[in-house]
Amino acid sequence: MIKDNLASVQARINKVNHTQVVTLIAVSKTKSASDVQQAIDAGQRHFGENYLQEALDKIAALENAKVCWHFIGPIQSNKTKQIAQNFDWVHSVDRLKIAKRLNDQRPDNKGKLNVLLQVNIDNEPTKSGVLPEEVDEVVTQIKSLDKLSLKGFMCIPNPDHSRISFTKMAEIGKKYPCLDALSMGMSHDLELAVQNGATFVRVGSDIFGQRD
């Protein structure tokens, strides 16, 4: 089932007219290491996790698998050390304090940690992220951190108007041609996201089924 679902989601991505390379992140939160292994066996290499302890258990269980782990959930200050030590990408850097902690706690032997700046594109009080008008300043500050590699941006749009939100996010991204990663789009709106330049789409339920 997981193999077929991965193929189905990839086919949806391929149907959209786009020129950028789009990487599918299989969001495996609440799913077992055996489910992740099924996806690995089907050729999937990028996995997204929201909950740190659950993710660490899976990373340990699958330590010999050649996969790329993306942390995509909210980050509390007391979680930054283990995130910096165990992940390849962090999509949810939502404030400078978190970026600095990830930088300070990244092990020297790991190389730079790839990060995305989370933008609160719709200025919603219930969501994390820097506001669009704050992006310039925070980008400059994160770029000065020597153990982080700022690659681009992430957003979680208001589902009532995803198209407008994705368009706004794409416009911000165009201001920074050297930051070409854009993480946006999930099971229900990945086509819109890809149309607007997403290079990462984060898909969970359409691959693994509904969350446990």
CB-facing half-sphere around the CA of 122: CA atoms within 13 A: 17
Can you give the pTM of this predicted structure?
A: 0.97
Query: Tens digits of per-residue pLDDT, 185-212?
Result: 999 999 999 999 999 999 999 999 887 6
| Cα–Cα distance list, 30 to 25, 133, 207 (Å) | 15, 35, 13
At residue 98, the pLDDT reads 98
User: What is residue 211's predicted lDDT score, i.e. its pLDDT?
Assistant: 72
Domains with residue ranges and CATH for the chain: 2-208 (3.20.20.10)
Alpha-carbon torsion angle 163, 167, 172, 175, nearest 10: 160
- pLDDT for residue 212: 63
Q: Which residue ranges in the chain fall short of pLDDT 50?
A: none
DSSP run (H or E) holding 94: none
